[in-house]
């Protein structure tokens, strides 16, 4: 034992105890009561009512004053008993089956008028099989602009998938109820709009990764002078982005899109109804409002109904089938867009109206006067000769 102690550099008593022991020596410490165990019933009661309650909120409710990390660790140990995990399956994507759609909101503020800047959404659509990215900036996230943006990108692709996958975007719909105009849009395209359930990010992971790629590879270091400039730069960047090598597919989207497009449906013979449409009576100031901006109209239509239609680029107003005004759509807010020809036409029309109103006075002709005796005869009044009225 002395030799073993000398070789190991330990006490001879340690060697003697080890030889006399029936098992290898190990450190043992008597377990004491943990503070978390005293609070565990209250933690479980809170998790039973609300399994997703954050650990920080639970700590506040139970009055925990110890280590936050230790408390979070124990809550994570208990939580699966009340909030079981939701397993996610591996998803395979067949050619032509779906395009995933989403909106990304760049932090870049885009000039949209004199001294005005705004943040606009970017519609991103990705073919799930080939990972081919399509994108463009749109004026708003309203239904009309979303449908117009989708149609423009699908028209550029030259084909329609069997499904267009969205999350619960308000402009598309909520739950199983699609927004007005969306079912008709899908019907014309012969496709199906699929809205995912909440807490299901894996089913839209393709477009989410494309959003991140756009934010980290396209936006840094760029400046934009207008929405048109943003879309022009984005259009120039996308061909290079679609030539990248995708590890999961082992190919490049620009090369795989052919198989995707071949399995998709053909474009409809007539385009679907998109954008914003309305029918309003033109007021005296001959302006109509579209998306918080006012656009001038030919004043000949004042007091009558005009048809208003706006797409992503243009606002058109028609009256009885004739063009009453065409303007480039403003992406700003609270602006008045005026056609000088409408102002001149209103000036001529106003002058003619004023001249017509003043014509009887300026003609110099005496107005016809009725003989007062006609009233006497009408009411049967007869005066004797020489009678003086009081």
Strand 177-178 to 173-174 pairing: antiparallel
How many C-beta atoms lie closer than 10 Å to residue 113's C-beta?
15
Alpha helices in the chain (DSSP H): 2-8, 12-20, 35-49, 55-62, 68-78, 143-157, 182-189, 205-217, 227-241, 253-263, 340-362, 373-379
Q: For residue 336, what are the β-bridge partners? A: 294
Residue 56 has pLDDT above 70, yes or no: yes
| 3-state secondary structure at position 379 | helix
CATH code of the domain occupying 98-263: 3.30.420.10
Average pLDDT, the chain: 88
Look up tokens 């009225």; give the residue: 389
Q: Which of 47-51, 174-178, 230-234 has the lowest mean pLDDT?
A: 174-178
For residues 309 and 275, the answer to whether their CB atoms sit within 8 Å is yes
pLDDT digits (tens, 9 = 90+) for 317-373: 999 889 999 999 999 888 999 999 999 999 999 888 888 776 655 545 454 556 667
CA pair distance 100, 194, nearest whole angstrom: 10
What pLDDT is recorded for position 84? 80
pLDDT at 71 over 80: yes
Q: What share of the chain is helix, strand, coil (3-state, %, to 5)?
A: 40, 20, 40
385 pLDDT band, cuts 50/70/90, is low
The full set of domain ranges for the chain reads 35-85, 98-263, 276-342
**Residue range 242-267: mean pLDDT, rounded:** 94
CB atoms within 10 A of CB 61: 14
Which tokens hold the place of 37? 């165990």
């Amino acid at each position: 034992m002395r030799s073993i102690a000398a070789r190991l550099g330990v006490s001879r008593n340690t060697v003697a105890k080890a030889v006399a022991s029936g098992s290898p020596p190990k450190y043992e410490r008597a377990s004491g009561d943990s503070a978390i165990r005293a609070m565990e019933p209250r933690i479980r009661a809170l998790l039973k009512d609300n399994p997703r309650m954050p650990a920080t909120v639970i700590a506040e409710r139970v009055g925990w004053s110890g280590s936050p990390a230790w408390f979070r660790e124990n809550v994570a140990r208990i939580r699966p008993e009340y909030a079981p995990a939701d397993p996610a399956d591996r998803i395979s994507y067949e050619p032509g089956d779906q395009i995933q759609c989403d909106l990304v909101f760049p932090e870049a503020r885009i000039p949209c008028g004199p001294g005005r800047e705004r943040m606009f959404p970017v519609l991103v659509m990705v073919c799930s099989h080939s990972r081919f990215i399509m994108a463009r900036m749109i004026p708003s996230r309203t239904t009309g602009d979303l449908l117009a943006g989708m149609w423009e990108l699908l028209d550029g692709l030259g084909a329609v998938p069997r499904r267009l996958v969205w999350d619960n975007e308000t402009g598309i719909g909520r739950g199983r109820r699609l927004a007005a105009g969306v079912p008709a849009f899908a019907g014309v395209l012969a496709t199906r709009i699929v809205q995912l359930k909440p807490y299901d990010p894996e089913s839209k992971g393709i477009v989410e990764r494309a959003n991140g790629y756009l934010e980290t590879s396209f936006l840094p270091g760029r400046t934009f002078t207008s929405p048109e400039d943003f879309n022009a730069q984005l259009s120039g960047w996308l061909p290079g982005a679609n030539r990248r090598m995708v590890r999961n597919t082992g190919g490049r989207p620009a090369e795989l899109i052919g198989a995707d497009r071949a399995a998709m449906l053909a474009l409809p013979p007539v385009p679907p109804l998109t954008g914003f449409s309305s029918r309003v009576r033109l007021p005296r100031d001959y302006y109509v409002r579209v998306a918080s901006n006012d656009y001038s109209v030919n004043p000949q239509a004042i007091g009558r109904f005009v048809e208003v239609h706006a797409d992503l680029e243009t606002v058109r107003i028609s009256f009885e089938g004739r063009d009453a005004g065409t303007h480039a759509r403003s992406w700003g807010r609270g602006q008045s867009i005026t056609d000088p020809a409408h102002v001149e036409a209103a000036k001529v029309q106003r002058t003619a109206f004023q001249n017509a109103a003043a014509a009887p006075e300026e003609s110099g002709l005496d107005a016809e006067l009725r003989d007062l005796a006609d009233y006497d005869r009408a009411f049967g009044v007869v005066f004797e000769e020489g009678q003086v009225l009081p």
